[in-house]
């Protein structure tokens, strides 16, 4: 079991920026992928961005970014702090959702949504 604490959400106007952060603790030894899903009421939870957290560096790491946010969102890692960050720029009203930090052992598990989850943080973008 991995414990994830995610934070940084809030309310912004369209075009604004937010930075989400997530810190992992507990049994993190087998975790290789960390990132963010988002969910709006009545819809499935969708992957937003994920990064491979294996390796000793804070830079680099293979990433996958959803097409809907590509060019606006970026994900980074700090392995020493067991943290990942999601930089969200040029926010749009359709980015409004609850964002959940997640951690998975394999990329296949990530795609299938088989992950450990944070409690979620709300992002609201007004027009």
Comparison of pLDDT for 75 and 61, the residue scoring more: 75
Residue 46 backbone phi and psi in degrees, to 5: -115, 145
Reported as type and span, the H/E element at residue 23 is strand 18-26
Retrieve residue 114's tokens.
Answer: 């088989």
Distance CA 15, CA 78 (A): 27
Residues pairing with 93 in the sheet: none
Identify the three-state secondary structure at position 60: coil
How much is the average pLDDT of 27-40? 93
What integer pLDDT is reported at residue 80 of this predicted model? 86
Instruction: Give the up-direction half-sphere exposure of residue 18: CA atoms within 13 A in the CB hemisphere.
Output: 21
What integer pLDDT is reported at residue 61 of this predicted model? 82
C-alpha distances out from residue 49 to 14, 27, 53, 103, 126, Å: 20, 22, 13, 12, 22
What integer pLDDT is reported at residue 84 of this predicted model? 96
| % of the chain with per-residue pLDDT over 70 | 95
User: Where in 40-117 does DSSP place strands (E)?
Assistant: 46-52, 63-65, 73-78, 83-88, 97-104, 116-117
């Amino acid at each position: 079991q991995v414990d994830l604490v995610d934070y940084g959400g809030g309310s912004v106007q369209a075009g604004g920026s937010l930075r989400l952060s997530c810190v992992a603790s507990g049994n993190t030894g087998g975790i290789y992928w960390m990132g963010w899903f988002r969910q709006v009421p009545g819809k499935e939870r969708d992957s937003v961005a994920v990064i491979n957290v294996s390796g000793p560096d804070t830079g680099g790491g293979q990433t996958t970014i959803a097409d809907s946010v590509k060019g606006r969102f970026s994900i980074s890692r700090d392995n020493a702090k067991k943290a990942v960050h999601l930089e969200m720029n040029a926010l749009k009203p359709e980015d409004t959702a609850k964002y959940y930090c997640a951690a998975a052992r394999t990329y296949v598990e990530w795609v299938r949504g088989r992950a450990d989850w944070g409690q979620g943080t709300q992002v609201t973008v007004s027009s």
